[in-house]
Structure 1
Amino acid sequence: MVDIRLPEILTEEFLATIPKQRSVITKLMEEKTIINYSLALDRSKLWTIIRAESESDVFDVLSEFPLIGWMRFDIYELAFNENVFRKMGYMSLN
């Protein structure tokens, strides 16, 4: 799990980069590289769970984030991650 701190002041450049960040996150979630991605209501923090074999692999994924230059983060290795979707499965609308 990565605990990400965002800047207190969100510059125009930061805000303009958010659509690119969302696009990369969507791609990584579709690839199942990112399992979870959550933003605090006050927009001060992000939490993400990344599927990786090593801390180096996590850094490789984070380096793809367009907003990485504004982020400060700590990486925590998880023993497990339970969630309701894993138990219920995903519903397809197709």
Structure 2
Amino acid sequence: MKQFMVEFDLPDPFPIEFVQRIPQQRNMVNYMLAEGKIKSYSLSLDRSKLWSIFVAESEFEVMELIAQFPLSDWMRPNIQELMFHNSSDMVLQFSLN
């Protein structure tokens, strides 16, 4: 499986329809995190950008996953395939006990 960094541009200001779908978006993101389709999901402090690491076979599959987002109509994605993505949860933690 490949990994893709997706940077989303979000609308400013948020339309009311966008705000109303945020709970559904959070549910879908949590589902995709649990399924391993997404490794991370981050929102900028000013709420203008969102970043996510997707796990998929192709850019087309990433687009299919994005299309499942309730907020996809308002999100403009920029998709980049990654050579690698390191995070602290991937490093073995030694217990002193």
TM-score (structure 2 length as normaliser): 0.88
Which residue matches 1:64? 68
Identity %: 43
Is 1:42 matched up with 2:46?
yes
Counterpart residue identity of residue 86, structure 2: E
TM-score (structure 1 length as normaliser): 0.91
Q: CA deviation at 1:75?
A: 0.3
1:1-94 to structure 2, matched below 5 A, reads: 1-88=5-92
Partner SS, residue 7 of structure 1? coil
> Which consecutive aligned stretches of 4+ in structure 1 deviate over 6 angstroms post-superposition?
none
Ranges in structure 1 where 5+ consecutive residues have no aligned partner: 90-94
Distance 2:41 2:7 in 1: 10
Q: How many correspondences in the alignment?
A: 89
Ranges in structure 2 where 5+ consecutive residues have no aligned partner: none
CA RMSD in angstroms comes to 1.0
Q: CA deviation at 1:88?
A: 3.9
Q: Which is richer in strand?
A: 2
